[in-house]
Structure 1
């Protein structure tokens, strides 16, 4: 994946990520102040028990991780993986639908707007809340 060295003499085989000096757990509702932007932590279980997203209420931006992402034809949001819980996922996505989100920046894939977010949420929730589907 790397097609150019960031600095002369860079050796990718000797590169290692250093752990952070400190790391604290976050809780639903915590606010992370970045100076010019604040992000609110949203605990959104379902895809996985500890799923979170970060919401910038001033910009309407959601950094969704794997909670919600755009799908290609034939794909579905993953809820049949270890730790997933469909009723929690329905609740989490419903919660997102009620926030003033204007743009979603997922953990993978391209960003998308509110219209597509609601389309994905309603498609998932409708498919999982019909009798006999949960």
Structure 2
């Protein structure tokens, strides 16, 4: 078992070749995931950028790393600048290059520095914090398969929370990495101008039909949710539609194990 003690990141082992790198000291409780194949490793998101996640990945693998971006929000691309091989869905290439429109830097800096429960790294300065902007190595599309060496990762385009949001299935193990499409404890949201409630519900329906999922790994909160939640998700989709709730302004809708906010 790999044991890494770090002042900012918490590293947990999912299996011998899969790790979750968490930032529990921040209110977002963000998770990034490192999947190691025989030839390459895939890093699903790079966290907040309050501290450098590459310090952790360097301790876990010497293989070249592909960064697979679930979506281009500041809390998931924080350490993108530390890696060369960045991949993003084609619908968010512009966001990675130019930033998200209608999201002021003042609001981002306010959110990144609030409700911190552990000492901040000396290198972090909220006043100069700026989300990564840069050119991706490649663009992803629905159905793409990425072989990192005897380990196949399948890309599912799952928009709603953002236009180019993706979920990633590790077909070898049945792990489904859902980014901000599905997690527990706090609401999944689609109430900003850049979100789409209809797309979000269609994406939830899409992942609920993926076969052979063994575990759900979201971008926040609990690490590892039972795949049984997918049946709840499927029923929730039906309920939301039948009750005409899939639109902006209908509020928070709670189900067993998760909730959504429009």
TM-score range, shorter chain: 0.7 to 0.9
| 1:44-66 Cα distance to aligned partner (Å, 9 max, x none) | 01111110011122321111111
Partner SS for 1:117: helix
Distance 1:116 1:18 in 2: 35
- Unpaired segments ≥5 residues, structure 1: 5-11
The one of 146, 153, 159 aligned to 1:45:
159
8 A Cα contact 2:205 2:233, kept in partner: no
Provide closer, same or farther for how the CA distance between residues 112 and 3 of structure 1 changes in structure 2, counting only shifts above 3 A: same
Task: Give 1:111's aligned residue.
Answer: 224
Question: What do you get for the CA RMSD once the two structures are aligned?
Answer: 2.5
Bigger strand share? 2
Query: What is the 5 A alignment of 1:1-134?
Result: 3=7, 17-20=81-84, 23-70=137-184, 72=185, 75-100=186-211, 101-109=213-221, 110-123=223-236, 125-134=237-246
TM-score (norm 1): 0.75
1:131–1:122 CA distance, 2 compared to 1 (3 A)? closer
Instruction: Report how many aligned residue pairs link the two structures.
Output: 120
Q: Which has the higher contact order (CA 8 A, sep 6+)?
A: 1
Q: Is the 8 A contact 1:104 1:111 kept in 2?
A: yes
TM-score by length of 2: 0.41
